[in-house]
């Protein structure tokens, strides 16, 4: 079930459940995500991070529970997949103009390209852009229509550290402008340093949730990597314990 009449919160899950056959992605999970914050979703491979982001963006239905999105006019939620693809033969600026015509004819492509650091690449063909530039162009496309919620799936995966740092700079800037930004990421060092909030998804539940410094204080770990690794081991032991379940 979906409810788009949200007063006060940007995005909320309530008692959300979703499964694919025997694989449980969400098991009665609830969470509130608010504006002006960069929230990172982390978890083991196969834990359902991408599926969760697609659900938040309205691309998948729940089996049970509700997802509540902002009460706002225009485009509510933007979603960028891990490997965005754009039409060959278009320049970066033409690509933005194409999407602006579909969503919001008043969008200024040059302004969006400047916001993500691609002003100097406006006239370059998309086939000439590096992998990092394609991700940045994808973020610019996601911002067409000025959505209050931006959902990014692994925006720095496979990129050089300098490019990944720049993308995280952009993500922090979007949150600083008042948007709610949700990403999935395996870059735990960057999440520890930059995210306002981290959600650790495991076995269908958010087993750790809080600001990185709060998670470190609660778990007594020296880093998010250590905190999540210890939690993952504990979760695996609980699932495997004979007769114990979870």
The helix/strand/coil state of 186 is coil
Q: What are 87-132's pLDDT values in tens digits? A: 999 999 999 999 998 886 678 899 999 999 999 999 999 999 999 9
Instruction: Spell out the residues 6+ positions from residue 85 whose beta carbon is closer than 8 angstroms to its own.
Output: none
Tell me: pLDDT of 154 over 90: yes
Question: Both tokens of residue 15?
Answer: 């008692």
For tokens 């000025």, name the residue.
146
Instruction: Report the percentage of the chain scoring pLDDT > 90.
Output: 72
Tell me: pLDDT of 5 over 80: no
Please give the C-alpha separations between residue 136 and each of 103, 118, 152, 167, in angstroms, as whole numbers: 19, 7, 11, 7
Q: What does the alpha-carbon distance between residue 152 and residue 53 come to, in Å, rounded to a whole number?
A: 8
Q: What is the DSSP string of 227-243?
A: HHHHHHHHHHHHHHSTT
- Confidence grade of residue 69 (pLDDT, cut at 50, 70, 90): confident
The C-alpha angle 147, 149, 150, rounded to 5 degrees, equals 95
Q: How many residues does the chain have?
A: 246
For residue 144, give the nearest of 178, 180, 101 by alpha carbon: 101
More confident residue, 166 or 76: 166
For residue 180, give the nearest of 39, 43, 4, 86 by alpha carbon: 39
Q: What does the alpha-carbon distance between residue 166 and residue 161 come to, in Å, rounded to a whole number?
A: 9
Mean pLDDT, residues 178-199 taken together? 96
Q: Which pTM value belongs to this model? A: 0.88
Do residues 182 and 39 lie in contact, with contact meaning Cβ atoms separated by under 8 Å? Answer: yes
Could you give the count of Cα atoms lying within 13 Å of 157 in the half-sphere of its Cβ? 14
Mean pLDDT, residues 59-82 taken together? 86
φ/ψ (deg, to 5) at 171? -60, -45
Q: What does the alpha-carbon distance between residue 98 and residue 69 come to, in Å, rounded to a whole number?
A: 26
Please give the C-alpha separations between residue 121 and each of 14, 21, 91, 118, 216, in angstroms, as whole numbers: 42, 45, 9, 5, 40
For tokens 């999935």, name the residue.
184
Q: 138: part of which helix (H) or strand (E)?
A: helix 131-142
Question: Both tokens of residue 147?
Answer: 């959505």
pLDDT at residue number 246: 38
Q: What does the alpha-carbon distance between residue 116 and residue 129 come to, in Å, rounded to a whole number?
A: 14
For tokens 């692994």, name the residue.
154
């Amino acid at each position: 079930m979906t409810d788009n009449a949200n007063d006060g919160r940007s995005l909320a899950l309530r008692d959300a459940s979703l499964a694919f056959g025997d694989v449980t992605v969400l098991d009665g999970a609830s969470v509130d995500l608010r504006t002006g914050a960069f929230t990172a979703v982390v978890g083991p491979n196969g834990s359902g991070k991408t599926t969760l982001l697609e659900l938040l963006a309205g691309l998948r239905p729940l089996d049970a529970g509700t997802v509540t999105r902002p009460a706002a006019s225009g485009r509510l939620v933007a979603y960028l997949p891990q490997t965005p693809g754009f039409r060959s033969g278009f320049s970066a600026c033409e690509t933005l103009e194409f999407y602006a015509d579909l969503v919001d004819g008043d969008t200024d492509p040059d302004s969006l390209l400047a916001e993500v650091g691609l002003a100097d690449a406006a006239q370059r063909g998309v086939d000439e852009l590096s992998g990092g530039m394609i991700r940045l162009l994808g973020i610019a496309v996601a911002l067409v229509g000025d959505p209050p919620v931006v959902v990014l799936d692994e925006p720095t995966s496979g990129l050089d550290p300098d490019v990944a740092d720049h993308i995280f700079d952009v993500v922090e800037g979007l949150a600083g402008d008042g948007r709610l930004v949700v990403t999935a990421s395996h870059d735990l060092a960057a999440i520890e340093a930059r995210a306002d909030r981290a959600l650790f998804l495991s076995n269908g539940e958010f087993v750790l949730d809080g600001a990185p410094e709060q998670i470190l204080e609660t778990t007594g770990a020296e880093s998010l990597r250590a905190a999540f690794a210890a939690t993952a081991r504990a979760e695996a032991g609980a699932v495997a314990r004979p007769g114990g379940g979870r």
